[in-house]
Amino acid sequence: MTVLVTGGAGYIGSHICVELLEQGYQVIVADSLINSSEEAIERVEKITGKRIFFYQANLCHKQDVAEIFDEEDIDAVIHVAGHRSIAQSVIDPLEYYYNDIAGTLVLCNAMRKHNVRKMIFSSSAMVYGDLEVDDMPLREKSPCGKVSSPYGRIKVALEQMMRDIHHADPEWNIVLLRYFNAIGAHPSGLIGDYPKMTPNNLVPYIGEVAVGRQKSVGIFGDDYPTPDGTGIRDYIHVFDVAKGHVAALKLMEQEPAVRTYNLGTGHGYSVFDVIHTYEKVCGVPIPYEIRQKRPGDIAVLYADPSKAERELGWKAEKTLEEMCADSYRWKSNSNGYKF
């Protein structure tokens, strides 16, 4: 089976490619390299000893996408490409809406034209919006709260668009995977999270402090309605997220439908929990300072992942210690990628 991975040179995409290749799939990657490096593709090939067919393609450019579908025989698409910063989506919503919505429209049109109707879409826990602690853990059917950012609203819109596409043409087989907070790196230390700009996610930033590239971690708010006042998230190893995609691909043999799954561990950890666990695994103190809340942030978010376990036979395996240890190995053994 040949799978096109959009955004396959990025953080989550590159880990998905490793899993796919190790499970015997043929992999084609389309990536604009706007926030990623082709070196990640070379590293995936090094880890797996297998080849990836790479296209530098911006999904908003019809011609780029048409060329891939004209040349390749694609069975299914894993659509990971998209902007990733919640805070940046508040600052520049136009760029976020344009890139993510136009890119997905162009992709889906090319899929329709070439009779490819198997799609796994990277959605996000952010579609649940700002809910109360009592609403946790989040089930796929949980009532959604007020979505707090353009990033979340784009994911809601794209999920709905996928449902409409299936409704109009029931041959489309679509899996919506709602990622919680993917962290960690491949245990080889060869691939990991390496945004072009200074990271603004918690764990990559803690890593920068641990290796001495930054002085201290800013904690964005300590008066949330949580036990220690800091935000709570469901951190999941990127390896487990990648395995969730391979499990979802198996559903492509079943009757076409739109199926939605949480990819989380079911455990919520605060910012302090993560800082202390990272300190424990890397053996150096992580200085921090309390800062203002970040726009678009919410207090608490963790999954009920039992539907994915029941229907996909998938369950997250890695602990928070393993996530932090792999993140630290990636940070300390490498200078990231060349851009």
Which residues are marked as active site? 151
- Residue 149 binds ligand UFG, judged by CB under 6 A: no
- Residue 124 binds ligand UFG, judged by CB under 6 A: yes
Of the candidates 239, 261, 245, 248, the residue with the CA atom closest to the CA atom of residue 317 = 239
Q: How far is the CB of 51 from ligand UFG (least distance, A)?
A: 29
Of the candidates 1, 56, 65, the residue with the CA atom closest to the CA atom of residue 29 = 56
Q: By the 8 A CB rule, do 220 and 276 touch?
A: no
Local structure of 335: helix, strand or coil: coil
Residue whose CB is less far from ligand UFG, 13 or 231: 231
**Phi and psi angles of residue 69, each rounded to the nearest 5 degrees, phi first:** -70, -30
Q: Structure tokens of 81?
A: 């490409």
- Residue 88 binds ligand UFG, judged by CB under 6 A: no
- Residue 107 binds ligand UFG, judged by CB under 6 A: no
Q: Structure tokens of 86?
A: 């919640």
Which range binds ligand UFG by CB under 6 A, 35-43, 61-69, 70-78, 217-225? 217-225
CA 159 to chain centre: 15
Q: How far is the CB of 272 from ligand UFG (least distance, A)?
A: 9
- Residue 180 binds ligand UFG, judged by CB under 6 A: yes
Residue whose CB is less far from ligand UFG, 45 or 222: 222
Residue whose CB is less far from ligand UFG, 26 or 260: 260
Max distance between CA atoms of the chain, in angstroms, equals 56
Q: Which of 3, 12, 271, 325 binds ligand UFG (CB under 6 A)?
A: 271
The C-alpha atoms of residue 26 and residue 20 are separated, in whole angstroms, by 8
- Residue 127 binds ligand UFG, judged by CB under 6 A: no
Q: By the 8 A CB rule, do 297 and 222 touch?
A: no
Residue whose CB is less far from ligand UFG, 84 or 259: 84
Which range binds ligand UFG by CB under 6 A, 50-58, 159-167, 179-187, 250-258? 179-187
Residue whose CB is less far from ligand UFG, 143 or 170: 143
- Residue 201 binds ligand UFG, judged by CB under 6 A: yes
Cβ count near 281 (within 10 Å): 17
- Residue 12 binds ligand UFG, judged by CB under 6 A: no
- Residue 86 binds ligand UFG, judged by CB under 6 A: yes
Helices (H) and strands (E) in the chain, counts: 12, 13
Site of tokens 């700002």: 130
Residue whose CB is less far from ligand UFG, 111 or 138: 138
- Give the nearest residue (CB) to ligand UFG: 231
Q: By the 8 A CB rule, do 154 and 86 touch?
A: no
List Cα–Cα distances, 73 to 46, 69, 154, in angstroms.
Answer: 24, 7, 29
CA 152 to chain centre: 13
Q: Contacts with ligand UFG in 227-246 (CB under 6 A)? A: 231, 233
Q: Contacts with ligand UFG in 276-295 (CB under 6 A)? A: 294
Q: Which of 37, 181, 262, 277 binds ligand UFG (CB under 6 A)?
A: 181
- Residue 3 binds ligand UFG, judged by CB under 6 A: no
Handedness of CA 211, 9, 245, 120 (dihedral sign): positive
Binding residues for ligand UFG, per CB under 6 A? 84, 86, 124-126, 179-181, 201-202, 205, 217-220, 231, 233, 271, 294, 297, 301
